[in-house]
Chains A and B, each alone.
Chain A
Amino acid sequence: MMEEEKGAEEQQRFSYQQRLKAAVHYTVGHLCEEVASDKEMQFSKQTIAAISEVTFQQCENFARDLEMFARHAKRSTINTEDVKLLARRSNSLLKYITEKNEDIAQFNLERKAKKKKKLEDENKNSVEPAEAGVVESEN
């Protein structure tokens, strides 16, 4: 009975992984297409599949490292500092990721400010005086 259950569980995990791999392959295909047209050089299908496979495997390393970095800092939520640590091996990579992080933070800040303004404008326009609180939506 235990053996059957374990077998079914493994089977499920395997097909789940296959679906994730397919999703990765889809994005990798698009990225390679962009590089191919920019550099005017074609990729064989096998090459795209191989890049996709390596990327999927690299995710395992990233996930394990991120989890350990957060735990080392006594946190259970992985944050951007942990992700930056992943990029430590190459100076140019670290610089690129640090800049991207600032772009993302800036973008999210502006998005929150726009939402807050929108809420304030809507409150001003309503007949009843509204509550002054700002709703914290996503994380």
Chain B
Amino acid sequence: MEEIGVGFRKELVSKLLHLHFKDDKTKVSGDALQLTAELLKIFVVEAAIRSVRQAQAEDLAQVDVEQLEKVLPQLLLDF
């Protein structure tokens, strides 16, 4: 599976991070925002792809929450 076009915008990533900072003075560099956006993208793509593999293994026509639930524990351990 090659290059995925869409991704998380820097502004959105910035807001998501700042929502949870404890210290007002904490800032994020531009490069770090871009890299975090990449990390989030891969998180979503992994969740999606692993769920698809699970659905394929179960011979299903579509991916449902049950498949996601099965792959979630390992996904969270990997991140």
Contacts and interface: CB of A to CB of B under 8 A. Distances in A.
A80 B35 contact: yes
24 contacts: A31-B4, A31-B6, A31-B41, A34-B4, A34-B6, A36-B48, A41-B55, A41-B56, A41-B62, A41-B63, A43-B51, A47-B51, A47-B63, A47-B67, A51-B44, A59-B40, A62-B39, A63-B20, A71-B23, A77-B27, A82-B32, A89-B79, A97-B42, A139-B30
Contacts of A96: 42
Nearest to B61: A42
A51 B23 CA distance: 28
Contacts of A47: 51, 63-65, 67-68
Interface in A24-68: 24, 27-28, 30-32, 34-36, 38-39, 41-44, 46-47, 50-51, 54-56, 58-60, 62-64, 66-67
Interface residues of B, number: 55
A35 B23 contact: no
A86 B72 CA distance: 18
A8 interface: no
Q: How large is the interface on A (under 10, 10 to 19, 20 to 34, 35 or more residues)?
A: 35 or more
A71 to B, nearest CB: 8
B29 A17 contact: no
A32 B48 contact: yes
A79 B6 contact: no
Interface in B20-79: 20-23, 25-32, 34-36, 38-45, 47-49, 51-52, 55-56, 61-65, 67-68, 72, 76-79
A76 interface: yes
Interface in A75-119: 76-80, 82-84, 86-87, 89-90, 93, 96-97, 100-101, 104-105, 108
A60 B65 contact: no
A130 interface: no
Given A51-B44, A58-B79, A87 B39 contact: yes
A50 B68 contact: yes
Given A50-B68, A104-B35, A78 B44 contact: no
